Homo-oligomer: A and B are copies of this chain.
């Protein structure tokens, strides 16, 4: 009869407990959680603050009581494991309610402690109006501060998932909001030119977006009558200051490894608990899962740290399997992720261009912008997709998509295609659901695969948005959009304009001794013009992703 102790009662830990019980009716399973709640919906916290999820109780997916009755798991909230005796295979537990300590033995131990918000030692940051958001008590504190202090202005530091979600929550509550991000873009899983869409959306909602700016200090002025109320003055790295009444620190999380380090478990180079493919730490009787660990990157096979709920859940399930005798192996993390930013969805899978450059991996990329479903059926929205692939093998390296409709679908499709090892050539043939309300006979995915395959085969000589800044006297930028579009949408500086439908009759206006850079709105008509010119003996390149990609890269 195996005795399994689980440290941490949220995603990975809770999944492991339920799975272990399904596998074994006789195992003794104890789950320790130092907080007051287990198995809560941490991804839902910003949405309760913003009011989308009205009922706080909905965030509590399981209780100690429900775990006991359904899974016969002994759940001990407000119980913190403070040390592990690996030789003796025991843990020392502190009951945080009465400060008593006791010991539990184990056959197998699972660490699922999660990650903690990174809060740098910024002067003045420890004040009654500054919060991070990781669990239910954090959420309750923010809600209390909103109720008590009635802020008219809030500031979020950090433009990642939680930062963006909190920005939206405050906006929904009618609180004027500033978003301060140290990098030159929000949402780092996507590349900067794609993040431009997000920046546009954020500014369109009157958020005070400050990029490339860090918080340097905070100063709290308490209200005359109440030390918990008041306001903050923030000093920023660009010399500006900002008056605010609620400050959220959301610059990131780091693996919670205190206990693992103290007990001498191997820590990876990236600062997470090291595990093998079976989710086993350097001690074979101790497993670890979730945000606290380093896991295998799907694409590179290297260690990575990916604090996401999906992998945590599947790792927890797998750790339970393996503690109870199986040898399931983790197949690597792609980092598939999505974030709602007002009306936009922003999603990605695999590697982005920044990572590929850093890892010195060869890549090619294409951009397509096309309707989420048949454009003649109401409700179609543009899907902007960036697809990264290997120029040698054609395999998918990563993908990013942004838009108001069908974004999750496209990235899910590409995440599965990447995991299956599909090439862009094979991706051309995928056969997706099509009826006017749902898709197109040639879906975004097929179109991206067509363009990528054209690039692979050399059927198109592409050029990217960033090259437009450095055109030489031997290059001509040819805009093949209609004059009406140029007026309504905007122009490329220095471009000449011949609409694609007139090009065949006006080719004589173009020089044969210069390189013609063809550009249209999204790249599709550009390709038609490119083919005409290339087949007619011109030296030509097509601007992949067209005006839309170029313009957004500047946002």
Contact = CB atoms under 8 A, between A and B. Distances in A.
A41 interface: yes
A309 B435 CA distance: 9
A363 interface: no
Interface string A424-461: 00101111111111110111001000100000000000
A25 B532 contact: yes
Contacts of A334: 431
A492 interface: no
Interface residues of A, number: 90
A428 B314 contact: yes
Interface string A165-185: 000000000000000000000
A336 B378 contact: no
A13 to B, nearest CB: 13
Interface string A56-88: 001101000010011110000000000000000
A354 interface: no
B419 A22 contact: no
B416 A417 contact: yes
Interface in A1-59: 11, 18, 21-26, 41, 43-44, 47, 52-53, 58-59
Contacts of A446: 314
Nearest to A376: B58
A224 interface: no
Interface stretch (A104-112, A191-199, A248-256, A338-346): A338-346
A220 interface: no
A443 B309 CA distance: 11
A407 B500 CA distance: 38
Contact of A433 (B314, B415, B428, B441): B415
A471 interface: no
Interface of A: 11, 18, 21-26, 41, 43-44, 47, 52-53, 58-59, 61, 66, 69-72, 161, 298, 308-314, 317, 331, 333-340, 345, 347, 349, 374, 376-378, 407-409, 411-413, 415-417, 419-422, 426, 428-439, 441-443, 446, 450, 500-502, 504, 525, 527-528, 531-532, 535-536
Q: 3 smallest A-B Cβ distances: which pairs?
A: A420-B420, A25-B535, A338-B433
14 contacts: A24-B535, A47-B377, A69-B502, A311-B431, A333-B431, A336-B433, A337-B434, A338-B435, A340-B438, A407-B433, A408-B409, A408-B432, A412-B412, A412-B439
Given A345-B438, A416-B422, 17 more contacts: A18-B528, A52-B378, A53-B377, A53-B436, A66-B501, A72-B504, A310-B441, A313-B442, A314-B429, A333-B431, A337-B433, A337-B435, A349-B433, A407-B433, A415-B431, A419-B430, A420-B422
